Amino acid sequence: MRTFRLRRSSLKGNCLCGEVSFELSGILPPIYQCHCSLCRKVSGASSNSALIVRADSFKWLSGTNSISRYVSSSGFKSEFCQCCGSPVPNISSSKDTYWVPVGLMSEDLATTIKAHVYVNSRANWDEAFICDNVEKFATMPSESEWLKLSE
């Protein structure tokens, strides 16, 4: 199994104003880009680029008291800095992983985009990714599919 390692033992990230900060450690997984309408609204862009990291590889450094949360009727949740509005990491319902927006990372990442997800609900003007060689999924890939992509 091929993995991508951090160039350092840890990698820091923070929101736009710096109030909320965190650190990742260990193996850095590949990035996915979600093209669903909810992620487009959260990011204000054609997709939302994120990592899913193990909970034991994630550590809050500051600002957890500045995080607000929105949960839709469907269960979709968005956590964000109440000072600057940046989306911030949030823990999965199983509590074993964190969703981390890669745009918050303060340093270069030693990983690549491995999947476009929810491509069937992408915006009608979102054509830029069609020509790349990245795996595309109509919905979110299963855990086994994602692990296979991470090899």
In SS3 terms, 78-127 reads as EEEECCCCCECCEECCCCCEEEEEHHHECCCCCCCEEEEECHHHCCCCCC
Residue 142 sits in which domain range? 4-149
Give me the CATH number covering residue 80.
3.90.1590.10
* Segment 114-127 mean pLDDT: 86
**pLDDT average, residue stretch 88-103:** 92
- Mean of the pLDDT values across residues 5-31? 85
| Average pLDDT of the residues of the chain | 86
| Tally of domains within the chain | 1
Q: What is the mean pLDDT of residues 27-35?
A: 88
